[in-house]
Chains A and B, each alone.
Chain A
Amino acid sequence: MRIALTVALALGMSGVAQADGLGDAEKGAKVFTQCKGCHQVGEGAETRIGPHLNGVFGRAAGSLEDVRYSPSMKRMGSDGMVWDAATLDAYIENPRALVSKTRMSFRGIKDAQERSDLLAYLRIYSDNPADIPEAEPTALGTDHDIDPAILAIQGDPEYGEYLASECKTCHQSSGANDGIPSITLWPTEDFVVAMHAYKRKLRPHPVMQMISGRLNDEEIAALAAYFKDLEE
């Protein structure tokens, strides 16, 4: 009840309602119960297990003082990832696919409408909603869901091995991380989703955006198939 009231008030004040293509904030308030065990939002919200989510739209990832973020979340922030409709949507859908070793142990919300409603709700608590940076309109909503057909592609490991030679200039086949993360022994789905997150520029890193940008779906599948078993 109290939440519903706050929502109504906030909507009234900001007047942005659903003009931005996000979902229904009132429904979103219910979805937020899944987050509440760890996050607070609204007046007086504090950081608990997870960082507070006031002003999260437009905030750089991993940027609150006094929060012990994972190194991966910090890295995303310094690479330039800012929370907006597209990045939040991707993170909530599959946290690990966007931020590989995130400390947020939450499996994600697969339903696009639920995510959209949730974002509409969270957005109320971001300062000055009119100035909130939006993703490209085309990236809004659900169109970055990875098509199950893409996830189902069986990669050709021999082609993967050849393609992987490009990666090994930076990612060591031993799995060692001396400043560039390890990509060996990943479950194929995580690998594929992460590569597509770079390709679609949800993940911010320019080298990886460029590298993934010219790989097609079969090639990404081939790489995933090769790296999943690579052990030296």
Chain B
Amino acid sequence: MKKLRLWPHILRTSRNEATLWEENTMKLNRRIFLGTSAAAAASLAAPMSFAAGHGKPHVVVVGGGAGGATAARYIAKDSKGEVAVTLIEPTRQYYTCFFSNLYLGGFKEMDDLGHSYGGLAAGGVNVVHDWATGVDREAKTVALAGGGSVSYDKLILSPGIDFVDGAVEGWDLSAQNAMPHAYKGGSQTELLKAQLMAMPEGGTFAMVAPPNPYRCPPGPYERVSMVAHYLKANNPTAKIIVADPKPKFSKMALFQEGWAENYGGMIDWIGEDFGGGNVSVDPAAMTVSIDGEVTKVDVCNVIPAMKAGRIAELAGVTDGNWAPVNAADMSTKADADVYVLGDAAQQGDMPKSGYSANSQAKVCANAVRGALTGSKVFPAKFSNTCWSLIDTDNGVKVGATYEATDEKIAKVDGFISATGEAAELRKATYEESEGWYAGITADMFGA
């Protein structure tokens, strides 16, 4: 337990504290967190207690991203003070992954992507900047890295993703400075951009794409587009290689059309059929081996296979890499008082996106509030739309609506942009995505 108390000063120093925490706890977490038994939690509870008091039901939300911030805000707002809401989130500024590719392409500044928790606090959410380090489901408490614990009536976990150990041969988290994933917001994104800008003339940018399922299915391919956009203007003889373990990917026809039209000859996508899944990297030598062929590269963006954020596993609500949930309210199959939202959830047909996490959070908030206060619970409705930018004023989108069945969240209806659309429409689609970004971030953070 002593070790836990050492962390906070490390944690508050950088934008991407999540990553630091991972580095620091990789070795520790199994031993310590799995040991957060009822007894350990009880001893932690003594110094600091957030138990809501006044007999109000208490909801604890872990993770202030697309799912967690939305859920906390909606429960606090809609219950009008009847439910106490505590949000546990280590970072003081949330940097969105959505639109981070546009930052790589030069369409957004880093500051455009940062959001504070001031609006949530003003809306009545008790925001605690700390890590949740364990969950005792019997005692219904969450342990904090800074010491102490918080007790809950209902617990909502929306911790996003972590990476599967050993997913890409030669890469682990200690290599993330040499070969960034840039798949969590903040400093990793900045690092990748800096490396892109420092590429020598005619250099090579490599991406190792992830296997399904992963957060933001079109994300890697929008990134390739944005990197190509940057290189076309600044380093036009540079090349992009993508090693992909999948035979096809989201919006593939749209991306491939866009790549051919705008970035002809620059992007070499190597799919599963051509050995794109047979990859290893050497971060010290800056080489990538694809199907036995070794290439020296200047930038290597490794996006490994993903799993639910570790706290879900520590809470014991995962099965394999993800946390199975009930579609009607996002409660876990393992525990009716623990809910999992967003990327970490295994829910059925919805893609892992910020939009999906936000949509699931509202269904969950309605159900949790109903369970605690007796307010009316309406049937679950979910939707998602993912926009991607291919080039300046060239936006495309894919979307669907979903409903809850006994078995899963099931797709109802959907649409996708068509190839060969008029420039006007593509521009309107891009402008709409800007509207969506403003809308969803206002919806998450309340300002």
Q: In angstroms, how far is the closest chain A Cβ from the Cβ of B351?
A: 15
Q: Is B400's beta carbon under 8 Å from chain A?
A: yes
Give the distance in Å from the alpha carbon of A172 to the alpha carbon of B434 in the complex.
12
Given the interface pairs A172-B439, A176-B438, A179-B433, the reply to whether A207 lies near B385 with Cβ below 8 Å is yes
Residue A138 interfacial (CB < 8 Å): no
Q: Which of B355, B401, B415 contacts A214 (CB 8 A)?
A: B401
Question: How far apart are A112's CB and chain B's nearest CB, in angstroms?
Answer: 30
Interface residues of B in 406-423 (CB under 8 A from A): 412-415, 422
Q: Is the CB of A166 within 8 A of B399?
A: no
- Give residues of chain B (426-447) contacting chain A, Cβ–Cβ below 8 Å: 427-428, 431-440, 442-443
CB neighbours (8 Å) of A170 from chain B are 435-436, 439-440
Q: Which segment of A72-80, A93-101, A118-126 sits at the interface?
A: A72-80
Per-position binary interface string of chain A over residues 150-194, scored 1 when its CB falls under 8 Å from any chain B CB and 0 otherwise: 000000001101110110111111101111100000000000000
- When the two chains form their complex, are residues B434 and A207 in contact, meaning their CB atoms are under 8 A apart? no
Q: Are A172 and B442 in contact, with the CB atoms below 8 A?
A: yes
**A187-232 CB contacts (< 8 Å) to partner B:** 206-207, 209-211, 213-214
Contact A180:B436 (CB < 8 A) given known A75-B428, A159-B378: yes
Query: Complex: how many Å from CA A169 to CA B431?
Result: 15
B359 at the interface (CB under 8 A from A): yes
Q: Which of A78, A165, A214 contacts B362 (CB 8 A)?
A: A165
Cα–Cα distance between A173 and B442 once the two chains are bound (Å): 9
Which residues of chain A are near B381, meaning CB under 8 Å? 163, 166, 214
Q: How far is the CB of A86 from chain B (nearest CB, A)?
A: 20
* B332 on interface, CB distance cutoff 8 Å: no
With contact pairs A75-B428, A163-B381, A166-B383 given, residues A178 and B439 touching in the complex (Cβ less than 8 Å): yes
User: Which residue of the partner chain, among A77, A162, A174, contacts B442 with CB atoms under 8 Å?
Assistant: A174
Instruction: Give the total of B residues in contact with A, Cβ under 8 Å.
Output: 37
Chain B residues, CB < 8 A from A79 = 425, 428
Q: Are A207 and B439 in contact (CB under 8 A)?
A: no
> Does B359 lie within 8 Å of A169, measured CB to CB?
yes
B358 within 8 A of A: yes
**B359–A210 contact, CB under 8 A?**
no
Assembled-state Cα–Cα distance A165/B89 (Å): 23
B397 within 8 Å of A by Cβ? yes
CB distance from B105 to the nearest CB of A (A): 18
Q: How far is the CA of A173 from the CA of B123 in the complex (A)?
A: 15
Verify A171–B412 contact, CB threshold 8 A: no
Do A210 and B400 have beta carbons less than 8 Å apart? yes
Shortest Cβ distance from B215 into chain A, in angstroms? 17
**Least Cβ–Cβ distance between B61 and chain A, in angstroms:** 16
Main secondary structure of the interface of B (DSSP, over half): helix
- The answer to whether A179 touches B436, judged by C-beta atoms less than 8 angstroms apart, is yes
* Inter-chain contact B439/A171, CB cutoff 8 Å: yes
B293 at the interface (CB under 8 A from A): no
Tell me if B138 is interfacial: C-beta within 8 Å of chain A: no
Known: A211-B401, A214-B412. A179 touches B435 (CB 8 A): yes
Q: Contacts A159-B378, A166-B359, A174-B442 hold; do A213 and B436 have CB atoms under 8 A apart?
A: no
Q: Tell me, yes or no, whether B376 is within 8 Å of chain A by CB.
A: yes
User: By the criterion CB–CB under 8 Å, are A178 and B378 in contact?
Assistant: no
User: CA separation between A177 and B435, bound complex, in Å?
Assistant: 7
Instruction: Kindly identify, within residues 371 to 417 of chain B, every residue whose CB is under 8 Å from any CB belonging to chain A.
Output: 376, 378, 381, 383, 385, 397, 399-401, 412-415
Which residues of chain A are within 8 angstroms of B131 by Cβ–Cβ distance?
none
A206 and B439 form a contact (CB under 8 A): no
**What are the residues of chain A within 8 A of B385 when measuring CB–CB?**
207
Closest Cβ of chain B to A184, distance in Å, is 12
In the complex, the answer to whether B415 meets A169 with C-beta atoms within 8 Å is: no
Residues in A with CB closer than 8 Å to B427 are 78
**A176: which B residues are within 8 A, CB to CB?**
438, 442
* Complex alpha-carbon distance, A171 and B74, angstroms: 16
Indicate which residue in A165, A174, A179, A211 contacts B74 across the interface (CB closer than 8 Å). A165
Cβ contact within 8 Å between B366 and A162: yes
CA separation between A214 and B411, bound complex, in Å? 12
Residues of B within 8 A of A158 (CB): 376
- Closest 10 A/B residue pairs (Cβ): A179-B435, A180-B435, A178-B438, A78-B424, A179-B434, A165-B362, A206-B415, A179-B431, A170-B439, A162-B378
A contact residues vs B (CB 8 Å cutoff): 75, 77-80, 158-159, 161-163, 165-166, 168-174, 176-180, 206-207, 209-211, 213-214
Give 6 pairs: A residue, B residue, CB < 8 Å, sorted on A. A80-B425, A168-B442, A172-B439, A179-B435, A207-B397, A214-B401
